[in-house]
């Protein structure tokens, strides 16, 4: 039922606020479990949300029956199911992007002997949309749906550098900058990324890893994703594909995905 907040004295409301408590609780449950890969029990969910078990029990049972949540029969822990990801693919341009990029990324991982992932902008952050693990014995993998800092990552730099000017300004106005990289310094970095067409930098998360990211463009010429390889250098001399060769492979892969999306290089 909709609720409206009215000012005293019969004045017209300055704003109308709608409330759907049960729906909001359902969203709260999904958002909470999205950050808990191991899942939570009903009592843990209730405690974390400041609710009683009776307030969420029937809701969680229904969400499990509808396929939004998965319950581990051994531990009674609930996790978000892949239905959320499935609907996200169906309801956004991600479905076409995934369809086009998956075989290219598979070929890239095999040729480079490295893992790779595809990153899209998600509000003021970036998100891992697709991943392809190195088919060999060693590789670095990231979890699907992981959120990435736009300011501090190679993927983020590529997404920002090739954004439309108005979109870039809107994003930067909301970003939080770390002490070592202020806004002006970031703008200089983005200018260099635009000039050379890619970004490569030490990983902000893992020692000994150097990320390489290239832009993927849509049919309208706008950037839609960043294709990234977290390059691992083997210390036992077994590396068959060196950094420069991997970078060349990523560049070609990003171009193939872009062309499959309808992009035409106008240079």
Mean of the pLDDT values across residues 216-243? 86
Per-residue pLDDT tens over the stretch 92-140: 667 778 888 999 999 999 999 999 999 999 888 899 999 998 877 676 7
- For residue 124, give every residue at least 6 positions away whose Cβ sits within 8 Å of its Cβ, in sequence order, or none: 150, 171, 174, 175
Confirm whether 5 is domain-assigned: no
* Same domain flag for 138 and 54: no
d(CA 265, CA 116): 24
Confidence class for position 14, pLDDT limits 50, 70, 90: very low
* Same domain flag for 59 and 140: no
Give me the CATH number covering residue 75.
1.10.10.10
Tally the domains of the chain: 2
Give me the CATH number covering residue 117.
3.30.450.40
Domain limits at 34?
16-81
pTM to 2 decimal places: 0.68
* Same domain flag for 73 and 91: no
* Same domain flag for 29 and 124: no
């Amino acid at each position: 039922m909709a609720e409206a907040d009215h000012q005293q004295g019969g004045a017209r409301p300055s704003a109308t606020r709608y409330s759907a408590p049960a729906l909001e609780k359902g969203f709260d449950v999904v958002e909470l479990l999205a950050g808990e890969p191991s899942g939570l029990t009903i009592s843990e969910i209730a405690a974390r949300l400041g609710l009683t078990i009776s307030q969420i029990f029937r809701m969680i049972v229904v969400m499990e029956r509808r396929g939004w949540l998965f319950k581990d029969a051994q531990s009674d822990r609930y996790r978000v199911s892949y239905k959320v990801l499935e609907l996200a693919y169906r309801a956004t341009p991600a479905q076409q992007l995934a369809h086009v990029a998956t075989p290219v990324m598979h070929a890239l991982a095999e040729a480079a002997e490295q893992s790779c992932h595809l990153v899209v902008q998600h509000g003021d952050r970036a998100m891992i949309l697709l991943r392809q693990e190195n088919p060999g014995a060693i590789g670095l993998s990231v979890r699907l749906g992981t959120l990435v800092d736009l300011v501090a990552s190679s993927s983020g730099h590529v997404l920002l550098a090739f954004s439309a000017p108005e979109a870039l300004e809107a994003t930067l106005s909301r970003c939080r900058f770390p002490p070592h990289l202020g806004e002006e310094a970031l703008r200089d970095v983005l200018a260099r990324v635009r000039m050379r067409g890619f970004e490569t930098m030490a990983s902000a998360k893992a020692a000994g890893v150097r990320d390489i990211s290239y832009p993927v463009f849509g049919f309208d010429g706008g950037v839609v994703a960043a294709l990234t390889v977290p390059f691992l250098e083997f210390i036992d001399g077994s590396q068959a594909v060196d950094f420069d060769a991997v970078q060349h492979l990523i560049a070609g892969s990003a171009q193939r995905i872009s062309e499959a999306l309808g992009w035409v290089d106008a240079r």
